[in-house]
Structure 1
Amino acid sequence: MTASLRILAGLALASVSSHALAEDSFTPIDLTEDQQGKRYVVDLGVAGFVNPRYDGASRYIIYPLPLVAFSRFYVPGIGQTKEGATQGFYVFPSFGFIGERKPTDGRSLADTRRVPWAGEIGAGAGFRRDWFRAFIEARHGFHGHHGIVGRAGVDVITEVTDRLVFVFGPRVDAADSSYMNTYFSIPAGTPTGPFKAQAGFKSVGAIARVSYGLTDTIGLHLQGGYDRLVGDAEDSPVTQNDNMWSFGVGATYRFSWDMF
Structure 2
Amino acid sequence: MAFRFIGARSIQQFSHFALIAFFLILGFTPSARAQWFIPGDPEDWNAQLGMGAALRPDFPGASNHIITPVPFIDLTYKKRFFLNSGRGLGTFLYGDKNGRLKYMLGISAGPSLDNRSRNDIAGMPRVGLTAEGRVFGEVFFDNWSVELTLSKDMLGEGHEGLTGDLGLNYTQRLEGKKGLFRIGPQIRFGSGDYMDSFFSVTADQSIASGLRPFDADAGLQSIGGRAFLSYPLFGNWNAVGAIRYFRLVSDSADSPVSLDKDQFGLFAAIAYRF
TM-score range with shorter-chain normalisation?
0.5 to 0.7
Distance in 1, Cα, partners of 2:223 & 2:180: 24
Q: Is the 8 A contact 2:224 2:246 kept in 1?
A: yes
Write the mapping of 1:212-227 to structure 2, written as runs, cut at 5 A: 212-214=231-233, 218-227=237-246
For the Cα contact (< 8 Å) 1:127–1:134, is it kept in 2?
yes
1:56 and 2:56 correspond? no
Question: Residue 49 of structure 1: CA displacement?
Answer: 1.9
How far 1:220 moved relative to its partner? 3.3
Q: CA deviation at 1:174?
A: 1.1
Corresponding residue number in structure 2 for 1:180: 195
* 1:56 Cα offset (Å): 0.3
Partner of 1:88: 102
Q: 1:116 to 1:60 in 2, by over 3 A?
A: same
Q: Distance in 1 between matches of 2:271 and 2:262?
A: 30
- The answer as to 2:168 corresponding to 1:154 is yes
Kindly tell me: are residues 73 and 156 of structure 1, through their superposed partners in 2, closer, same or farther at Cα, counting changes over 3 Å? Answer: closer
1:199/1:123 CA distance change after superposition, 3 Å: same
CA contact (8 A) 1:164 1:211 kept: yes
Q: Match for residue 29 of structure 2?
A: none
CA–CA distance in structure 2, aligned partners of residues 237 and 228 of structure 1: 15
Answer yes or no: is the 8 Å Cα contact 2:109–2:131 preserved in 1: no
Cα distance, 1:216 vs structure 2: 7.7
Question: Which of 109, 113, 138 is the aligned partner of 1:97?
Answer: 113
Helix, strand or coil for the counterpart of 2:78? Answer: strand
Tell me if structure 2 keeps the 8 A contact 1:111–1:186.
no
* Aligned position for 2:134: 122
Richer in helix (by share): 2
Per mean C-alpha deviation after superposition, the further-off stretch among 246-255 and 203-212 is 246-255
**Stretches of structure 2 lacking an aligned partner (at least 5 in a row):** 1-14, 16-40, 82-92
**Sequence identity (%):** 23
Q: Unmatched 5+ residue regions in structure 1?
A: 1-17, 19-36, 76-80, 256-260
Distance 1:254 1:166, change over 3 A: closer
What is the CA distance between 1:94 and its match in structure 2?
A: 6.0
Tell me the SS of whatever aligns to 1:202. Answer: strand
In structure 1, what is the Cα distance between the partners aligned to 2:161 and 2:257? Answer: 19
Trace 1:22-33 onto structure 2 (pairs within 5 A): none
Q: Is the 1:171–1:205 contact (alpha carbons within 8 Å) kept by the matching residues of 2?
A: yes
What code does the residue aligned with 2:175 have?
A: T
Report if the CA contact (8 A) 1:94-1:124 is conserved.
no
**TM-score, normalization by structure 2:** 0.65
- Render the CA deviation track for 1:122-179: whole Å, top value 9, x for unaligned: 2311122321122111212242222111211111123343233322110101111111
Q: Aligned equivalents of 1:216 and 1:131: distance in 2?
A: 27
CA contact (8 A) 1:43 1:70 kept: yes
**Which residue of 42, 45, 48 maps to 1:41?**
45
With 217-226 and 87-96 compared, the bigger mean Cα shift is at 87-96
Structure 1 equivalent of residue 255 of structure 2: 236
> What value does the CA root-mean-square deviation take over the aligned residues?
3.4
1:198 is paired with a residue of what secondary structure?
A: coil
Task: For residues 8-62 of structure 1, give each alpha carbon's deviation from its aligned partner in whole angstroms, at most 9, with x where no partner exists.
Answer: xxxxxxxxxx9xxxxxxxxxxxxxxxxxx86732325355421102110122223
1:74/1:134 CA distance change after superposition, 3 Å: closer
Structure 1 CA distance for aligned equivalents of residues 164 and 137 of structure 2: 12
Q: Specify the code of the residue in structure 2 equivalent to 1:203.
A: S
